[in-house]
Amino acid sequence: MVASADQGTQRFGHLMFPVPPRRRFDTDGIAAVVQAVEQANAQSNFEDLTTDTAVAQAQQTAAADPVVQVVLQENHLCAGDCNSSDDVTVNELLIMVNIALGNADISACAPGDTNHDGSITINEILAAVNKALNGCG
């Protein structure tokens, strides 16, 4: 778990990116995401903004930042684990390929869509292959 001094930041990171229950990050992954979100917002000026407006601005900035998106994708513990079994099988890789080819719906493997854009890309398939080879832990 992230140290208690970072709890506000971690919560801020959570506000940036509500994570579905199946999406898991380890402590290092959470720290990497928080750091990327902080860097994306480093030049933001929140002075004279209400809390709600500042949060909305920070969310938009971080969500549009490609570095944040890469960090999220790279630190997700098990990209491609379609059945939440904490591993990625050849069958799950094939499901992802079929989704990418348009032969299956994204609902067949939502965890494969690590950037949540409604499709499966080659980068997401490669991330899943890495998890299949190296494990989810």
Query: pLDDT tens across 3-46, in order?
Result: 223 333 334 444 444 444 445 666 777 788 889 989 999 999 99
Query: pLDDT tens digit string along 64-119?
Result: 888 888 787 666 668 899 887 878 999 999 999 999 999 999 999 988 988 878 99
Residue in this structure with the two tokens 């970072």, named with its chain if needed: 6
Q: Identify the residue with better confidence: 70 or 59.
A: 59
Q: Report CA-CA distances (Å) from 121 to 104, 114, 128.
A: 14, 9, 11
Please name the residues in contact with 132: beta carbons below 8 A apart, sequence gap of 6 or more: 80, 87, 88, 89, 90, 92, 93
What does the pLDDT average to over 51-59? 90
Q: Are 131 and 79 in contact (CB under 8 A)?
A: yes
Q: Residue ranges of the domains in the chain? A: 4-75, 90-134
Backbone angles phi, psi at 26, to 5 degrees: -85, 180
Rounded to a whole number, what is the distance in angstroms from the first to the last CA of the chain?
Answer: 15
Whole-prediction pTM value?
Answer: 0.49
Please give the pLDDT value at position 7: 36
Residue 61 has pLDDT above 50, yes or no: yes
